[in-house]
Chains A and B, each alone.
Chain A
Amino acid sequence: MALGLSVIFGVVRVVNFAHGEMMTVAMYAATILFAALGLDPFLCMLPAAAAFFAFGYALQAMLVNPFITRPEHSQFMLLVAVAIILSNALLMVFGPDARSVQVDYQLDTFEIGKLLVDKARLYGAAAAIAAASVLFLFFRKTRTGKAIRACADNHLGARIVGLNVKRLYSLTFGLGAACVAVAGCALVLLVDVTPSLGPYYTLLAFVIVIVGGLGSMGGALLGGVLIGVSEALAGLFIDPSAKSMFSFALLILVLLFRPQGLLGSKA
């Protein structure tokens, strides 16, 4: 999930404030599909990813692209507005109660040595790594991927060379959205979904991305692991509900001392 944000921000340099909300929508989509068709969320991932790709593409093309030249905080506000609209639309349609997906293997665990690992979590992690690998290959090997990276490095230069920057941005946003869809499907097995989940996950994604390094995919993964581990540890030593405080403190520290993150490069 954080991967998607890193991709979006790193390339389009637009802070997608609606990231968390988009994931919440994905989670709801998974619940509907499960309820209606009995589809295992993991199987939902591919169609969800495709649908979200289209949605993200459209969002970028229609709303954000005209904005690239506007000052930063305009773009930010734009996505804040989208976030508000999404989360409240969800509230209106689904109501405030939590929903969840119940699958057979949800409570099963694997035993690896002395550790008990939830099957659901393991599958989720596998999915994340798979998605990350696909993205990585895409950006390194394909022509479009390289084109997108060129845009990120030098917007003006890319245009001069003839790349259709707007279309590439839309593509990137779409990819980011697809990542989010995958994440949402995986997460729905672990967390009950309510309409107000958005802000928490958006912030979490930012923490991860900034700690790991904006624009660096490896950084996003590393950041994700780091935050996950530190939150778990913090939960052991401090009151569990306060563990997010630790993440935010970390965010503040990183913003101050190493804004490019652990693996990022200076912008």
Chain B
Amino acid sequence: MNRAGAALAVLAALLMALPALAGPYALSVATLILYFAYTGQAWNVMMGFAGQLSLGHALYVGVGGYAAGALFYHYGIGPWAGLWLAMLLCVALGAAIGFLAFRFGISGVYFALLTIASAEFTRIGFDHLGWLGGPGGMFLKVAQRDAWDLVNFRGPPVMYYYAILLFCVFAFALCFVLSKSKAGYYWQAIREDEDAARALGIDTFRWKMLAVMLSSAMTSVSGVFFAFYYNNLFPEQIFNISRSIEIILGPVIGGVGTLFGPVLGAALLTLLSEGITESLGAIGLDIPGVKQLFYGAVLLAIVMFLPGGLWPALSSRLRRAK
């Protein structure tokens, strides 16, 4: 697989060098792509590996963001400590949802509804939590710094870019290692046929819980990043079901359960949508909703014609071209 290795190396080099090559707008788009790629990969762990469709993943982004944000806002505690709290809370939440679902045999569509309900419940709940800012939102102090303050996770956009790049690489590596390990095999078996898996000695409950907890922990990191990058959190926005849908778009379009799928999907989607907004802006049109409509159309097309996602189709083409 030498060609693939070389391609990967080139990509890595490009990504590392991007800030030097690109302007601030391109950098922010790249950051956005990587953000969605990372979060999509986290979601992918639950869906692609354990086969559980979660449409309420914004829950973990929100809880993660608020946890770290609240610590910083009220107590001035830096994000590195906040990260642990965020992960802890999200793991607990994921475990709760997973436990309730799996113990009571809820799967498929019902599970998806359960996740949606949980996210909505939390959204409305947070709207009423004054201590966390309520519907007006929580604003973290924005300190314009040119220096990199890693302790408080504040700095120029370049720092955020490298941070999210690091997270992406980590997520990618983690998923790669997992897919080749016992966990990967077991998860795939569970996804394919749970009864058969159980007959082979797999404790499906335990392994599904693991996938859910890992996925929620990873997603909480997204939340922390979000909080410190954008510096404001609104329940209406961050827990909204459209956020949950945005998260799944990357992996679904790129290929659920694959390694490269979420990255490819996120990249393609963000680039194309930014492209559309830009070109419309150039003609002088600013139509709200175009981007989302585009997302919807692409999702429809993929689900209808390429249900496996783009990456599997692409990779088999590439393999044939060798």
A residues adjacent to B (C-beta < 8 A)? 15, 63, 66, 70, 72-74, 76-78, 80-85, 87-92, 95-96, 195, 199, 203, 206-207, 210, 239, 241-242, 244-245, 248-249, 251-252, 255-257, 259
User: In the complex where A251-B117, A252-B121 touch, is A242 in contact with B109 (Cβ < 8 A)?
Assistant: no
Contacts of B124 in A (CB 8 A): 241-242, 244-245, 248
B109 A84 Cβ-Cβ under 8 A: no
User: In the complex where A91-B289, A92-B290, A241-B127 touch, is A85 in contact with B53 (Cβ < 8 A)?
Assistant: no
User: In the complex where A92-B289, A256-B106 touch, is A84 in contact with B113 (Cβ < 8 A)?
Assistant: no
User: In the complex where A91-B289, A241-B127, A251-B113 touch, is A77 in contact with B121 (Cβ < 8 A)?
Assistant: no
Q: Within 8 Å of chain A (Cβ to Cβ): is B252?
A: yes
- Chain B interface category by residue count: 35 or more
Contacts of A206 in B (CB 8 A): 113
14 contacts between A and B (CB under 8 A): A76-B109, A77-B299, A84-B245, A84-B293, A85-B300, A90-B289, A92-B290, A199-B242, A242-B124, A242-B128, A252-B118, A252-B121, A255-B113, A259-B110
Per-residue contact bits, chain B 293-316, to A (CB 8 Å; 1 contact, 0 not): 101110110011001000000000
Q: Within 8 Å of chain A (Cβ to Cβ): is B287?
A: yes
B residues adjacent to A (C-beta < 8 A)? 53, 55, 100, 104, 106, 108-110, 112-114, 116-118, 120-121, 124-125, 127-128, 241-242, 245, 252, 287-290, 292-293, 295-297, 299-300, 303-304, 307
Question: Complex Cα distance A41/B151, Å?
Answer: 60
Contacts of B307 in A (CB 8 A): 70, 74
Question: Complex Cα distance A159/B255, Å?
Answer: 34
User: In the complex where A73-B112, A78-B304 touch, is A248 in contact with B121 (Cβ < 8 A)?
Assistant: yes
Contacts of B241 in A (CB 8 A): 199
User: In the complex where A74-B307, A76-B112, A81-B296 touch, is A248 in contact with B117 (Cβ < 8 A)?
Assistant: yes
B295 A84 Cβ-Cβ under 8 A: yes
A84 B116 Cβ-Cβ under 8 A: no
Contact for B120 among A78, A83, A95, A244, CB less than 8 A: A244
Contacts of A92 in B (CB 8 A): 287-290, 293
Question: Complex Cα distance A91/B288, Å?
Answer: 7
B288 A255 Cβ-Cβ under 8 A: no
Contact for B297 among A63, A85, A87, CB less than 8 A: A85
Question: Complex Cα distance A239/B304, Å?
Answer: 43
Total of A-B residue pairs, C-beta within 8 Å:
112
B292 A239 Cβ-Cβ under 8 A: no
* Residue among A66, A88, A252 with most chain B CB within 10 A: A88
A81 B117 Cβ-Cβ under 8 A: no
Contact for A81 among B118, B121, B127, B300, CB less than 8 A: B300
The 5 A-B residue pairs with the shortest CB-CB distance, nearest first, are A84-B296, A91-B289, A81-B300, A85-B296, A88-B293
A239 B128 Cβ-Cβ under 8 A: yes
B245 A80 Cβ-Cβ under 8 A: yes
Min CB gap B272→A, angstroms: 15
Contacts of A207 in B (CB 8 A): 117
If over half of A's interface residues share one DSSP class (helix, strand or loop), that class is named, otherwise mixed; here it is helix
Min CB gap B4→A, angstroms: 29
A259 B293 Cβ-Cβ under 8 A: no
Question: Complex Cα distance A66/B300, Å?
Answer: 13
Question: Complex Cα distance A4/B309, Å?
Answer: 32
Question: Complex Cα distance A152/B293, Å?
Answer: 33
Question: Complex Cα distance A255/B128, Å?
Answer: 25
A82 B300 Cβ-Cβ under 8 A: yes
B288 A96 Cβ-Cβ under 8 A: yes
User: In the complex where A73-B112, A241-B128, A249-B121 touch, is A257 in contact with B104 (Cβ < 8 A)?
Assistant: yes
Q: Which residue of A lies closest to B291 (CB)?
A: A88
Contacts of B114 in A (CB 8 A): 252, 255
B116 A81 Cβ-Cβ under 8 A: no
Question: Complex Cα distance A81/B307, Å?
Answer: 13
Contacts of B127 in A (CB 8 A): 241-242
Q: Which residue of A lies closest to B105 (CB)?
A: A259
Contacts of A252 in B (CB 8 A): 100, 114, 117-118, 121
Question: Complex Cα distance A90/B290, Å?
Answer: 11
Contact for B109 among A15, A96, A251, CB less than 8 A: A15
Contact for A203 among B104, B106, B120, CB less than 8 A: B120
Question: Complex Cα distance A203/B252, Å?
Answer: 22
A77 B110 Cβ-Cβ under 8 A: no
Min CB gap B256→A, angstroms: 9
A78 B108 Cβ-Cβ under 8 A: no
Q: Which residue of A lies closest to B294 (CB)?
A: A88
B252 A77 Cβ-Cβ under 8 A: yes
Contacts of B113 in A (CB 8 A): 15, 206, 210, 251, 255
Q: Which residue of B lies closest to A70 (CB)?
A: B307
Contacts of B296 in A (CB 8 A): 81-85, 88
Contacts of A72 in B (CB 8 A): 108-109
